[in-house]
Amino acid sequence: MARKKKYDKLFTPFKIKHVELKNRLVKSSQWFIYLEPDGSIGDRFVKFYESIAKGGVGLIILEETVTDYPLGCSNIPHPRLDDDKYIPGWKRVAEAIHKYGAKCFVQLTHAGPAHKMAIDGQQPVAPSAIDPPAEPFLDKARELTIPEIKAIQEKWAQGALRAKKAGVDGVEIHLAHYALGNAFLSRWQNRRHDEYGCDSLENRARFGVEIIRRVRELCGDDFIIGCRMSAREWGIELGTTNEEAVEFAKMFEKAGLDYIQSSGYGYKEFWCCWAPQQMYWPEPLPVTKEFRDRIPTGAMLPEAEAIRKAVSIPVSSANGYNYDSAADAINKDRVDLIWMGRNLMVDPAYPKKLEEGRIEDIRPCTRCMHCVGKLWENVPIECRWNAFMGHEYEIGDGQDFEPAKKKKKVMVVGVGP
């Protein structure tokens, strides 16, 4: 079946600086816990991402990786780039992805206030020592000193240099959600009164700006530097507004950033707005009223669009797209790229099937949240509708199955994974 014309622009090549992507579909950074116990990369990790690349996506953002171990971890194991010994594993991943014509960036993060004392006994760190929001699994953070801030920034940049040595095409600096990068941006979390403090937008952005500049200094102009940032914080007084995020984005671009992935975060009743399907019922009315009409049209699209209008670098959006809403956002130039997460977990061949006009063959994500449940358990992520996921290194990925030569009538009794 021929592909409908409204999807054509999704499959046009697109350049982030000098790096050309074969289409506008991007695998977003998600944490899958497919690592070896020491945080190194083995066959399971490599084969999973190879399967995503094989399915036709243009770019893969490799999951959030720490450069300050273990303080930078929200849980263990975490992908690592805090030592040269991890470079060979990342090289394997990059080569597996490049084999299928896709590009790859590594997201670099620091948990900051999301670090748990149960990991290693260390108190989490943040711009300011404030009580965490209502989530019971968080510990109170201590305030970072200036020398500690500088040390963390340098570790971040050295991790980016290791990523370049491994052959990946770029890095994505994590400045979003309940992590250290966003904590400096958020007026609610940042109560300091120094050069990294809350008294001006420039001071709040300084932590991220200096990381971007240092990565550029170490890695050069031939290496892509992007960031994932919260374009808005919901549910808490003094949370970042979209207007403030627009100003941050302009500062990051001036510092040398090559693209922005616009996300968002919420607190209290808005806690899981990054997974809006979790917010239907029995969540309070303000939540459902705010997000009900945003699904499946891209839950964070309006905030991303505001940023795109203010900068000259590419801006992308994630959270709850299907193929129709993705095409609509691209065709109307609301964003430049579409980040997809769970859609590609359920069906890695989603891009290939859409490009070939085989929409009826796409296995849809039902937003059942089974994968997120595994994340909270801190065990390898599974998909209720894709039994191959995470087991590609053992049984393949299911993309090459041929139709049965002898067809039979089969009754399936019962449901479940």
In SS3 terms, the chain reads as: CCCCHHHHHHHCCEEECCEEECCCEEECCCCCCCCCCCCCCCHHHHHHHHHHHHCCCCEEEEEEEECCCCCCCCCCCCCECCCHHHHHHHHHHHHHHHCCCCEEEEEEECCHHHCCHHHHCCCCEECCCCCCCCCCCCCCCEECCHHHHHHHHHHHHHHHHHHHHCCCCEEEEEECCCCHHHHHHCCCCCCCCCCCCCCCHHHHHHHHHHHHHHHHHHHCCCCEEEEEEEEEEECCCCCCCHHHHHHHHHHHHHHCCCEEEEEEEECHHHCCCCCHHHHCCCCCHHHHHHHHHHCCECCCHHHHHHHHHHCCCCEEECCCECHHHHHHHHHCCCCCEEEECHHHHHCCCHHHHHHCCCHHHCCCCCCCCHHHHHHHHCCCCCECCECCCCCHHHHCCCCCCCCCCCCCCCCCCCCCC
CA distance 263 to 301: 9
CA distance 194 to 200: 10
Q: How far apart are CA 100 and CA 58, in angstroms?
A: 9
What does the block give as tokens for 416? 């479940």
Q: Mean pLDDT per 10-residue run, the chain (417 residues)?
A: 91 98 97 91 98 98 97 94 98 99 99 95 96 77 98 99 99 97 97 98 99 99 98 89 98 99 81 55 57 68 96 92 93 96 96 96 87 86 94 93 85 72
Residue whose tokens read 């040398």:
256
Q: What is the CATH number of domain 5-395?
A: 3.20.20.70
> What is the pLDDT at residue 393?
96
> C-alpha angle 283/289/295, rounded to 5°?
90
Alpha-carbon distance 159 to 412, whole Å? 49
CA angle 368, 372, 376 (to 5 degrees): 140
pLDDT attached to residue 292? 62
Contact 201, 247 (CB under 8 A): yes
The reported pLDDT for the residue numbered 152 is 99
* CA angle in degrees (0–180, nearest 5) for 164-23-168: 10
Residue 265, beta-bridge partner list: 233
Angle between helices 201-219 and 146-165 (to 10 degrees): 40
Q: Which two tokens stand for residue 290?
A: 């705010």
Q: What residues does 226 pair with on adjacent strands?
A: 172, 259
Closest CA to 231 of 243, 219, 213: 243
- Omega within 30 of 0 (cis) for the link into 364: no
pLDDT of residue 223: 99
User: pTM for the full model?
Assistant: 0.94
Report how far residue 308's alpha carbon sits from residue 262's, in angstroms, rounded to the nearest whole number.
Answer: 9
Q: Across the strands, what pairs with 27?
A: 60, 340
**Parallel, antiparallel, or unpaired: how do β-strands 142-143 and 125-126 relate?**
parallel
* Cβ atoms < 10 Å from Cβ of 218: 14
Nearest to 375, CA basis, from 285, 293, 274: 274
